[in-house]
Structure 1
Amino acid sequence: MLTREENDRLTQVGPGTPMGETMRRYWLPIATSDQLPHPDCAPLRSMLLGEPFVVFRNTDGEVGVLDEFCMHRRVSLALGRVEDNGIRCLYHGWKFAVDGTIQETPNHCNEKFRQRLKAPAFPVREAGGLIWTYIGPKEKQPPFQHYLFMEGPKENRVALRVDTAANYLQLWEGGTDSSHVGILHHDHVAIAKNKDEEFDLGVMAVEDHAPVLDIVDTEYGYHYAAKRRGPVDENGNESFSVRVTPVIFPTGRIIPAPNTFQYFLFEVPQNDHVTSTYIVCHGQKKADRHGVKAILGLNDERFWREEDCLFRASWEVNRMNQDRHRMDTSFAGFSGIEQEDAVLAVSMGPIVDRTKEHMVPADRAVVHLRARLLESIRRVEEGGDPIGLRVEDFSGVHSLIDTTVRKNESWQRLLPGNMELLKAAE
C-alpha cells in the first residue's frame, strides 16, 4: 500500500512533476512507423508526458517531432500541409523543417527574421518499427538504447500501438504481475491449450496461481522469476516451472512466447490519464501481423482499430464490450491478452487509489516496481541519473518462457545476458 503522496509522485507525469522530470531523461516512443506510412503523408498529433506534439514524415522520408502549435499564432500544425520537405501551417503558410528551421514565412518576407528563430523541435530516431524522441534537457540527452527487436528483417517484427484511458502505472503493474496470467488469461495460457498457436503467451507447465517470486535488481531495473510448483521426478527430486520477466526502465518489459518470439511492451504516458502501449512482437522468423492481433484481441474493431489506435471499451458507451453470454466457456467474456489487460486497467478508473489496496506475497514484483521507481525519482532529484539511463545495449536481455528447473537449480544461469547487467553496488 502506498501513501497518497507516493501515489501522486508515481502517477503524475506532466512538466515539473517528479515522475515527469524523471521520464523526460529517457528516449521514449511517440508513434509507430506504420502511423506515418509514406513521405508527405498526413501528420500525426501525439501527446507525450502531458505535452502536445506533431509528428510528420517529410519528402525525403525523415521524421520530425515539433511542438504541435505553430510558433506564429499557435494554430495546430497537425492540420498542416506536409510538402517540399517541410510542414506548412494552414493559417499564414509558415513552413518548418524536421529540425525546426523556418523555411518560409509568406506574410513576413524577412530572411533575417527566419534565420533568427527556430520552431521547438526534438531529437528523433526511427528504429524497430517505432519512432522515438527525447524531450528532456538538451544538455542531458542520453545515448539511444538498442533492443533486440531492432535487429533482423522487418518481416520478423510486428509493432502496434494501443491508446488506453488509464494511467501508465496500472498498465505496467499488470505486466509485472505473474499471478494473474493463469487466471485472467486462462483461455490463452491454460495447461495443454493452444499448443500449436505461435503467438500465444505459452502453455503454462503447471496450474499454480500463487507463484513464489525471486526478484533480482539489474542496471536496467530488475527481473523476476515466477516459480510455480513443478513435477517430482522418479527419484523424488522436486522442481519449479520458472517464467522470467525483465522490467526495463522507464516503462518497459519483455514477456515470452513460443517459437523464439518475444513481446516487448512499453507503457508510455500521453498524460496522467491516457497511456500509449507500444507492443512489438519479434522473433527469428516471419511474424504474422494478423496472428499477433488475434492473440492480443486487437482484431475486434469494437475494441481497437489500426487507423486511430484507440482502445474503445468503456462503461459508459458499451459496458466494456464484455460478452457475459460466453462466460460459460470463456473465463472473462473477452478475447485476447491485451484486450483483457486493457479492459481491467480502464475498469480501475483513470488513476488507482493505491491507499486502499491489500497486497499479498504474489504482488511482490508490483511492490518492487514502485520502490524502484521512487528510487529513480530520488536519484534525479539529487542531481543524478535515473535507473537504466546509461545502459546502451539491451540486445542480450531476454524473457524466459515456462521452463522446468530442479528445486535447488539456479534459473539465473539460463539468462546470461540479463545477468551481465546486474545492479552496481549502491
Structure 2
Amino acid sequence: MLTAEENETLTRVGPGTAMGRMMWRFWLPIATTAQVPEPDSDPLQANLLGQSFVVFRDSSGVVGVLDELCMHRGVSLALGRVEDGGVRCLYHGWKFGVDGAILDTPNHCSDRFRKRMKAPAYPVVEAGGLVWTYIGPKKQQPPFPHLPFMDVPEENRAVIRANIACNYLQLYEGGVDSSHVGVLHSNQANPTWKAGEFTANDEDDNPGALSVADNAPTLEIEDAAFGFHYVAKRVAEVGDDGIPAHSIRATPVFLPVGRVIPAPTVEFYVFEVPTTDTETATFIVIYGNRPVSRPRFMEMLGLDDERLFDEDTADFLAHRLPRFGQDRRSMATGWTGLRGIQQEDAVLALSMGPVVDRTKEHVVAADRAIMHLRAQLLESVRRNEAGQHPLGLVADYGPMRSPCDTDLEPGRAWRDHVPGNREVTTVEDDEQMATAS
C-alpha cells in the first residue's frame, strides 16, 4: 500500500512536479509519423507532461516541436497555416521555423527583432514511426535512444496511438501485471476457462494467447540498466518425478514509461506517455521479422470499434459511454462484454477514475511487479532530485528481448533466456567507460 504522498509523487507529472522533472530527462514520443504525414500537412496540437505543444512538418519534410502558444500574443499555433518553410500564426501572420527562428512578422517590419528573438523549440528525432522530442534541460540532454523496432522495414512495423482519459500509471501498472492476462483477456488467452477447460489459442501474433492454464503465475524480478525485467512462471505440467515444468513469459520494463509485451512472432513495445495528470497517450509499436497487418492488430486490440475509438483523433471514447461501452449481453458467451486487448485494458483503467487512490488497495504476491515499478519510479525521482541520473537512462536498447511462453528446463535459470537484457548499459555507465578509456 502506498502513502497519499507517494501516490501524489507518482501520478503528478506537470511542470513543478518531481515526477515531471524526472521524465523531462528522457526522449519521449509526442506523436506518430502518420499524424504529420507530409510536408505542409495540418499542424498537430499535442500535450506532454502537462505542457502544450504544436507538432508540424515543414515544406522540406522536417518535423518541428514548438510551444503551442505563439510568442507574440498567445494564440494557438495548432490553428495556424503550415506553409513556405514554417508554421504561421493566424492572428498577425508571425511565422516560425522548426528551430523556432522567426521567419516573418507582417505587423512588425524589423529584421533586427526577428534575428534577436526566437520561439521556444525542442529537439526532434523521427524514428520507428514515431516523432520523439526532448523537453528537459539542454545541458542534460541524453543521446537519442536506439530501440529494436527502429531497424525493421516499415512494412514489418505497425504503429498505433490511443489517447486515454486517465493517469498514465493506471495503464502502466496494467501492462506489468502478468496475472491478469488469463482472466481479463480470457477471450484471447483461453475462451473455455470458465468451463474448467483449457484450449490454447494458436494465434502466434497474439500477446493474450497463453500456452498454459495457470492464472496465478509466480513472479521473479531482477533489476536491469533499463529498469527491470521479470518472469511470470506458469506451471505447465508435473512430471513423473513430481517436479513441475514451467512456461515462462519475460517482460522488460524500461523507465520511465515503457514495456515490452511478447508474442511468439512479434513484440509489442508500449509507451504510456503522460500528456497531463489525467490523460495518457498510449503508443503501441508492433514489429517482427515479417510484414505485419495494422488492420489485423487494430481488430485484436479492439480499436476497430468506432464507438470506442476515433482513428482520426486517436481518442479512446469509452469514458463518454454508459458502462464504458460494455455489452452485457455478450457476457453470456464471452468474459468482459468488451472486445480486444487494448479495449479491455483501457476500460478497466478508466473505471478506476482519473487518478486512483492507491492508499485503499490490498495488494497480493501476484502484484510484485507493480510494486517494484512504483519503487523504481520513486527511486528514480529521488535520484533526479539529488542531481544524479534517473534510473533507466539508456542510449541503446538493441539487445533487449522478451521471450514468450518458453519452456523452462528443470535446473535452468530463466535469465539464461534473456542474456541480452543484461548487456544493456546506462548512459552513466557509458560515460564512466568513456572517461576510463
TM range (shorter): over 0.9
Name the counterpart of 1:404.
407
Name the counterpart of 1:220.
226
Name the counterpart of 2:378.
374
Please state if 1:291 is matched with 2:268.
Answer: no
Name the counterpart of 1:340.
344
Instruction: Tell me, yes or no, if the aligned pair for 2:31 and 2:132 is still in contact at 8 Å.
Output: yes
Q: Unaligned stretches of 5+ in structure 2?
A: 191-197, 430-437
Counterpart of 1:384 (choices 374, 388, 394) is 388
Structure 1 residue matching 2:277: 3-state secondary structure: coil
- Which range is displaced more, 62-71 or 185-194? 185-194
Structure 2 residue matching 1:376: 3-state secondary structure: helix
> How many Å apart are 1:192 and its aligned residue?
3.2
Name the counterpart of 2:6.
6
Name the counterpart of 1:208.
214
Identity of aligned residues (%): 56
Structure 1 residue matching 2:155: 3-state secondary structure: helix
> How many Å apart are 1:235 and its aligned residue?
5.0
1:351-370 → structure 2 map (5 Å cutoff) = 351-370=355-374
Instruction: Tell me, yes or no, if the aligned pair for 1:202 and 1:402 is still in contact at 8 Å.
Output: no
1:235-254 → structure 2 map (5 Å cutoff) = 235-254=241-260
Please state if 1:312 is matched with 2:291.
Answer: no
1:66-105 → structure 2 map (5 Å cutoff) = 66-105=66-105
In the TM superposition, what whole-angstrom CA distance separates every residue of 1:333-385 from its partner, at most 9, and x where no partner exists?
11100000000000000001000000000000000000000100010111001
- Letter in structure 1 aligned against 2:398: S
Given the two structures, how large is their TM-score scaled by the length of structure 1?
Answer: 0.96
CA–CA distance in structure 2, aligned partners of residues 290 and 385 of structure 1? 40
Counterpart of 1:421 (choices 410, 420, 424) is 424
Counterpart of 2:287 (choices 274, 278, 282) is 282
- Letter in structure 2 aligned against 1:419: R
Structure 1 residue matching 2:321: 3-state secondary structure: helix
- Letter in structure 1 aligned against 2:396: D
- Letter in structure 2 aligned against 1:8: E
> How many Å apart are 1:210 and its aligned residue?
1.3
Q: Unaligned stretches of 5+ in structure 1?
A: none
Q: Please tell me the root mean square deviation across aligned C-alpha atoms, in Å.
A: 1.4
Name the counterpart of 2:433.
none
Structure 2 residue matching 1:270: 3-state secondary structure: strand
Instruction: Tell me, yes or no, if the aligned pair for 2:182 and 2:208 is still in contact at 8 Å.
Output: no
CA–CA distance in structure 1, aligned partners of residues 14 and 312 of structure 2? 27
Instruction: Tell me, yes or no, if the aligned pair for 1:202 and 1:258 is still in contact at 8 Å.
Output: no
Instruction: Tell me, yes or no, if the aligned pair for 1:164 and 1:342 is still in contact at 8 Å.
Output: yes
> How many Å apart are 1:198 and its aligned residue?
4.3
Q: Count residues in correspondence.
A: 421
- Letter in structure 2 aligned against 1:355: T
CA–CA distance in structure 1, aligned partners of residues 176 and 425 of structure 2? 19
- Which range is displaced more, 186-195 or 410-419? 186-195
Instruction: Tell me, yes or no, if the aligned pair for 1:192 and 1:203 is still in contact at 8 Å.
Output: no
CA–CA distance in structure 1, aligned partners of residues 206 and 328 of structure 2? 23
- Letter in structure 2 aligned against 1:353: D
In the TM superposition, what whole-angstrom CA distance separates every residue of 1:196-227 from its partner, at most 9, and x where no partner exists?
x3431153222111111100000110000001
Name the counterpart of 2:274.
269
Instruction: Tell me, yes or no, if the aligned pair for 2:264 and 2:403 is still in contact at 8 Å.
Output: no
Instruction: Tell me, yes or no, if the aligned pair for 1:396 and 1:417 is still in contact at 8 Å.
Output: yes
